[in-house]
Chain A
């Protein structure tokens, strides 16, 4: 029948607090960059691209720094599709279009639309787009919920809220679907 003393109880709680803070601090350092610091560095700071390889450059259809985006799923042809390409997590998190790496407006079509961003300087980008049906340059919300369509690279449903790291795509061809909540 163990009956630990008051001192044992208090020091036990103090040790617990120490383990809690230490554990949380340790966990705060464990991000996707932990396993691959170089790649993350490139993605987050958008360091300049290395010089294109002259030998292999001729053989690939899409050269380094180009992102071909196919937009699908528009429900009508009203208004336009606004596409934002980000190479910085902070800009992506804040929907900061002034610090976007790429911006495009397409006339809305229900058939797949394609747009190519060239001259991108990073090797990882996250794409956000939305269907601006009433042409007010805003994703309209009613009671906090979007009433216009939207999409993010790598998202699989309207409920996916991806972090920059989750939404990142490499240069090449990608497809982004427009999701509608209603």
Chain B
């Protein structure tokens, strides 16, 4: 076990991070090809699915452009600055990296739950959920401000004493594990695996708009956190992917080019419309910081009347 405790350098860690991230991206393309051929064989391949896949990668590039310009430097310098206040003195080796991955996975759980439960943040994360399909390209579908939130949830790990570059590596590994789950090609794994780990089945539930599946299965690697914190739901009825209020479909060919931008900005468009159109200041506040299902009193009343 000596190898597990051998000290590693920051250069090795960040080199590893880049290497894993790049190779995973290339392999995901091969997997996407497999998935599309599978849909073709099953006669489920549609032009809209191919268009949606292109949209996914275009949102990725818009997200990367924003993140690299505005956030990357801030991210690393905030971590390195915070590291000097570290509570524990933690060595960099495979044993401490393993612990950091588990803790980063819990941090991700809360970050992810937060992204679903606050309108301002949901405005960016809803982009990822706006695809009516579920394949590995959807994992790369990002919103404009998706890069902002992880920092607040993972900074505590740096303050506890984990090396900033180890935390960044752990964040990537949690993200990549979950990326690999975006597929319909795997039905269910054996019971023990489904009990401990997040799986394609659990993550399909997370991407569903079915009423019984909403706000469930936020996990990255371990589904245990959802079981512990009361947000777990089992997949037992057919999943309808996408948002409760879908983005209007663009059918005319002349406006097809607008689809990626509509997907990328729709969350903030809706948020802005709701906040600016609010009748009371309190309503504007709730539209910005309340939960996605919150509606102003008049609408609630009219819905009740409509139901009667």
Contacts and interface: CB of A to CB of B under 8 A. Distances in A.
B24 to A, nearest CB: 25
B229 A4 contact: yes
Assign chain A's interface to a size class: 20 to 34
Interface in B233-286: 233
Interface string A7-31: 0110011011001110111111011
B2 to A, nearest CB: 4
A30 B96 CA distance: 7
A31 B1 contact: no
Nearest to A157: B11
B148 interface: no
Contacts of A28: 88-90, 161
A12 B218 CA distance: 14
B80 interface: no
B99 A23 contact: yes
B213 A31 contact: no
Given A1-B211, A32-B91, A24 B2 contact: no
A1 B231 CA distance: 8
A35 interface: yes
A159 interface: yes
Contacts of B211: 1
Interface residues of B, number: 40
B160 interface: yes
B95 to A, nearest CB: 4
A151 to B, nearest CB: 16
B173 interface: no
Contact of B103 (A23, A34, A36, A165): A23
Contacts of B216: 1-2
Given A1-B212, A162-B9, A27 B1 contact: no
A27 B215 contact: no
Contacts, number: 98
A11 to B, nearest CB: 9
Contact of B231 (A2, A13, A16, A166): A2
A160 interface: yes
Nearest to B94: A30
Given A20-B160, A26-B99, A31-B5, A2 B232 contact: yes
Contact of A30 (B95, B106, B110): B95
Interface string B175-193: 0000000000000000000
A20 B7 contact: no
B263 to A, nearest CB: 25
B33 interface: no
Contact of B229 (A12, A24, A160, A161): A12
Interface of B: 1-2, 4-7, 9-11, 87-91, 93, 95-96, 99-100, 102-103, 106, 110, 156-157, 160-162, 211-216, 228-233
In the A-B complex, the 4 residue pairs with the smallest Cβ-Cβ separation, listed nearest first, are A24-B160, A28-B88, A4-B230, A12-B229
Interface of A: 1-4, 8-9, 12-13, 15-16, 19-21, 23-28, 30-36, 159-163, 165-166
Given A2-B233, A159-B11, A161-B9, 9 more contacts: A1-B213, A20-B106, A23-B99, A24-B99, A24-B157, A26-B99, A27-B91, A31-B91, A34-B95
16 contacts: A2-B215, A2-B230, A9-B229, A12-B228, A15-B229, A16-B106, A20-B106, A20-B156, A23-B100, A24-B161, A27-B90, A27-B100, A32-B5, A32-B91, A32-B93, A162-B9
